[in-house]
Chains A and B, each alone.
Chain A
Amino acid sequence: MINEEAGMVVAQLPEDSPGTTNATRTHPILPGEPAIKIRPESLPVLSNLREIWAHRELLYFLIWRDLKVRYKQTIFGVAWVILQPLLMALVFAVFIGRLARVPSDGVPYAVFAYAGLLPWLFFSNSVASGSQSLVANNYVITKIYFPRLILPIAVVGVRLVDFLIAFSVLVGLMLYYGIHVAWSILMLPVFIAQITLLALGISIWFSALNARYRDVGAVLPVVLQLWMFMSPIIYPVSLVPQGWRLWYALNPVSGIIEGFRAALLGLEFNWPSIVISAVITISALLYFVYDFCRRQDSLVDVI
């Protein structure tokens, strides 16, 4: 009657454990604490994070699935990931850089624009598909349990892979224009981490919101478009009037993009803006994770 599971449990008990008599051996030995407790109250955030860690293999498989499916269906495969920012940078370089003569902090405009578009597209693509993550997988989440937070996290993971692939073109562009990296490049991972955390926070928020109010899917593209023009993607912050700068820095994306570009191209860091954006990013992420954990129990009932 003893199955493998029971064998494992027995092995974990200490040698002198009083529970391991013959009478209890005929059946799987049950641990004192229930392995699964189901209660009406929602799980605290920490238990949710522990659950995600326990399901990390599933997270890996979901990321793997999305990458695999995407690259199977398209002719160009991986090329699309590079083409999107590249074509956008090209168009902006011609119309904004050449014709409108928008300055670019002394860097060739094409590099300037690409270095801004790269993190921005990572962010906006993450949020756009992250907001759909629960709704798109509703046939799975109504049939099987796993921590729901895994779905928006997996989407951001997929986009992070795209981002790293598209990053290689940036390296090519910098070599072509002969731009030397400075010590500031050491800050680059910090900004990549920060844009990832911000993308995570906003995706988590919108995914829960979209499950309840489908209108969110319709509003989001407009929001993202406006957000892009309110961030220093295709123009430098130096173009923003001094009096607006504080308000401008309240957009967490602006500090990250500025920092990303400065780290990469050896420009000067704008510390106040970077700190403001870091504080907003962290608090937004913490709040939205907390909010998600609170809402997730009613999600399946309303989705």
Chain B
Amino acid sequence: MRPIIEVRNLSKRYCFDKRVMANRNLREAWVKALKSPVERFYGRPALREADFWALRDISFEVEPGEVLGIVGRNGAGKSTLLKILSRIIKPTAGEVDMYGRSGSLLEIGTGFHPDLTGRENVFLNGAIIGMKRAEIKTKFDEIIAFAGVEQFLDVPIKYYSTGMYLRLAFAVAAHLEPDILILDEVMAVGDAAFQKKCLAKMKEVSREGRTVLFVSHDLMSVRQMCGRALLIESGKLLDVGDAESVVSNYLLKICEAGVEN
């Protein structure tokens, strides 16, 4: 069977070179423009010195209906990978093909406006994360019931408690139903009861046959939810395999690093 996501040799480079960063400011850009003929004459110093590869040559495939976990330390490149897959940033090299509609939730409540009411924000946020208006309309009651904010529908959300706000945000997100769902630790909200509800919703999503990519530091939920997992370190793909073994491999690596220090 053909994979639903194919990632081939994906790389992302950031330049933290002083000369590139100087472009951030108009004055400096002009100064640089004036200087550059002179510098070209004397030969430019190498530009590549301060390059930073956030991702280097990542390749993997995801089968339809699979729940794939992505683990790794902070700064390993997990979020960069998700951002490229979500089309927020472009890769420097490599390619990705997706055979289905994708939706990503790198945070919940993106674009919520404090002055708009709960009702209005459901529509706005829904549209931003890629739902159609008709789709939001049909799911509206379900979303509100899931969040449990029926009484406060027409109150601006700046008056919502943090919990209500997060529940509403998650409720909209949970009703996004693309073929491929890309998640970045959006689970960690609300109290224990709500988290349980969220986990149940996640399981329901994977039972429906949707493909899920899932970054998390919560290794328990990766073990529970995911069939397979990727381990990323310093921008490189270190391990792919069934979630259980990748997670133990990851834990082992952390212990080794701890011993070395």
Contacts and interface: CB of A to CB of B under 8 A. Distances in A.
Interface in B1-60: 1-2, 4, 14, 23-27, 29
B110 A144 contact: yes
Contact of A27 (B64, B102, B133, B208): B64
A279 interface: no
Contacts of A2: 209
Interface string A117-142: 00000000000000000000001111
Interface string A23-57: 00001101100111111101000000000000001
A57 B103 CA distance: 16
Interface stretch (B93-101, B189-197, B231-239): B93-101
Contacts of A3: 177, 179, 208-210
A5 interface: yes
Contacts of A35: 98-102
A215 interface: yes
A145 B1 contact: no
A68 interface: yes
B88 interface: yes
B87 A36 contact: yes
B4 A215 contact: no
B115 A5 contact: no
B92 interface: yes
B185 interface: no
B94 A27 contact: no
Nearest to A297: B90
B24 A34 contact: no
Contacts of A72: 115-116, 156
A38 B84 contact: yes
A98 interface: no
A15 interface: no
Contacts of A140: 110-111, 128
22 contacts: A1-B65, A3-B177, A3-B179, A5-B177, A27-B1, A28-B64, A34-B97, A34-B99, A36-B102, A40-B90, A40-B92, A42-B90, A61-B127, A61-B133, A65-B120, A69-B113, A140-B110, A143-B88, A144-B111, A213-B29, A297-B89, A301-B89
Given A213-B29, A215-B25, 16 more contacts: A27-B64, A27-B65, A28-B179, A30-B4, A34-B97, A38-B87, A57-B132, A57-B133, A65-B116, A69-B116, A144-B86, A144-B128, A144-B130, A146-B128, A212-B23, A214-B25
